[in-house]
Amino acid sequence: MDDTIRRQRATVDEHIGQENAHNWSAVYDTFAPHDSRIDAVPFHAQFGGLSGIKNFYGAVDAAFPDFKATVWAEYDALGCSVREITVEGTHKGEWCGVAGTGRRVKFHVVVLYLFGKNNTSGKLLAERIYFDNETAMKQINGDAEAASVPQFGERQMAVAE
């Protein structure tokens, strides 16, 4: 495996591990110090720079203080690591205008972790998040028919070189 891909994988593993530990300062340290961002695709929103990244994670932590991400598939190529993740948590604070309901949510997320070249190859330039917010909102609102996550096979890994 290429050294750059190893660095990317280590950064992503650290990033997700610190998200699950709710160690936000360590999460922020996985990003490149300048011009990094989070792209929340379902919201057509970009959270730029360290202040934007902190705002994004502050909102997630307030809404789902027991947030947990479980990786079930991973793919890596130079400059981009992709993770398929199941996110779950209890809705305790405002999310998309809905005050905390105490209901559990569980849904799939696909995240593209984008890296630079050379001296930025081990730091995140962007975290681009794709998920079905409608399903999450249905679960928040108590829709018993809202799709939960399907069960796929064992954890998959792929590396493109």
pLDDT digits (tens, 9 = 90+) for 69-81: 999 999 999 999 9
Whether residue 159 lies inside any domain: the answer is no
The count of structural domains within the chain is 1
Whether residue 158 lies inside any domain: the answer is no
Whether residue 62 lies inside any domain: the answer is yes
Give the range of the structural domain holding residue 64, as residue numbers without chain letter. Answer: 3-152
Q: What span, in angstroms and rounded, lies between the C-alpha atoms of 5 and 74?
A: 12
Indicate which CATH number applies to the domain containing 147: 3.10.450.50
Q: Based on DSSP, count helices (H) and strands (E) in the chain, helices before strands.
A: 4, 7
pLDDT digits (tens, 9 = 90+) for 39-90: 999 999 999 999 999 999 999 999 999 999 999 999 999 999 999 999 999 9
pTM of the model: 0.89
Q: What span, in angstroms and rounded, lies between the C-alpha atoms of 140 and 100?
A: 8
